[in-house]
Structure 1
Amino acid sequence: MKRIAARWLPAALWAALIFFLSSRQTLPEPPGPLGWDKLQHALGYAAGGFLLARAAGVRGRGMWIAIALGLLYGASDEVHQVFVPGRNSDVHDWLADATGVLAGVFIQRFFTLRRGRGGNGAAHRTAEASAT
C-alpha cells in the first residue's frame, strides 16, 4: 500500500498545484510575443503527464490510463476556471494541456523502457562488447 501511495503522491501534488494555480484570478506572465499562456499549459501538463505515467506505468494499460487521467484533469481544470472570477475556459488551453500530457507520458515511457531494456547502462554495454 505504501508503494502505491509513494508512486501516486507526486501526481496528486501536481494536481493540487494545478488546482491552486487555476483558482487564482490572475497569474504573472512575462512579456513577449510568444503564446506564453499555451506554453505554460503545455509545460505544466507535460510535468503532469510524466508523473501520471510514472504512477500508472508505461506498459500495457498504464500508459492509456495516464493519458486518460491527464486529458480528463485538463478538461476539468478548464471547467473549474469558468467559476473563477477573471478566468475563462478555452478549448485551445485544453489542446495545449493535451499536447503536454502526451509529451510527458511519452518522455516517461522513453526513459522507462530505455532503462528497463539496458538495466545498468555501462555494465550492459560492457557485457555486450565482451560477448562480441
Structure 2
Amino acid sequence: MLKVFDILALLFYCAMIYWLSDQPSLPLPMLFEYQDKLHHFTAYFLMGILASRNFRHFVEPPFNLAVVSIVFCSLYAISDEWHQSFVVGREADALDWVADTVGAIVAMFLLTRYYPYQKPS
C-alpha cells in the first residue's frame, strides 16, 4: 500500500507542476530579484524527496537511488521548461532548469546524509 501511495504522490506532484506551468502567469508578488529561482529550487527539492520515496521501492543501494531521483527530477524539469516555451505569457529559461536540478541535488544530499536508507517493507 505504501508503494501505491508513494507512486501516486509523485504523479500528483508532477501533474500539479505541469498545471502550474500551463498557466499564462502566476499571481505571486515579486519581493526580490530571482525570487522565481527560489520557487523552482523549493518545488524540485520537494519533488526530489517524493522521487526518492517512490524509487526506493525499485532501486538500491542509496547512491543509485539518489542518482535516479536526481536524473528523474532534472529530466522532468527540462520537459517542464520545454512545455512552458509553448505557453503564451511564459518562456523557457535554462536558469530555471539549473535551480530545479540543484533543488533535487540538495534534497538527495540531505536525505543520504541525515536520513538513513531504509528498504520499504
TM-score (norm 1): 0.78
Distance in 1, matches of 2:51 and 2:37, equals: 20
How many pairs are equivalent? Answer: 114
* Structure ranking higher in helix proportion: 1
Q: Percent identity?
A: 31
Aligned-pair distance for 1:38? 0.5
1:43-122 to 2 correspondence within 5 Å? 43-57=42-56, 59-113=62-116
The worse-fitting range, judged by mean Cα deviation, of 72-81 and 10-19 is: 10-19
Bigger relative contact order (CA 8 A; separation at least 6): 2
Q: Could you tell me which residue of structure 1 aligns to residue 31 of structure 2?
A: 32
Calculate the aligned-residue CA RMSD, in Å.
Answer: 1.8
The worse-fitting range, judged by mean Cα deviation, of 65-74 and 104-113 is: 104-113
Gaps of 5+ in 2: none
Q: Could you tell me which residue of structure 2 aligns to residue 20 of structure 1?
A: 19
Structure 1, residues 81-112: CA drift from partner, whole Å, max 9, x if none?
01111100010110011111111222332343
**Structure 1's 8 and 108: CA in aligned 2 closer, same or farther, altered over 3 A?**
farther
Q: Could you tell me which residue of structure 1 aligns to residue 7 of structure 2?
A: 8
The worse-fitting range, judged by mean Cα deviation, of 6-15 and 64-73 is: 6-15
Contact 1:53–1:109 (CA under 8 A) maintained in structure 2: no
Which aligned segments of 4 or more residues in structure 1 are displaced greater than 6 angstroms?
none
Gaps of 5+ in 1: 117-132
Report the residue type matching 1:86 in the other structure.
Answer: G
**Structure 1's 3 and 27: CA in aligned 2 closer, same or farther, altered over 3 A?**
same
Contact 1:42–1:97 (CA under 8 A) maintained in structure 2: yes
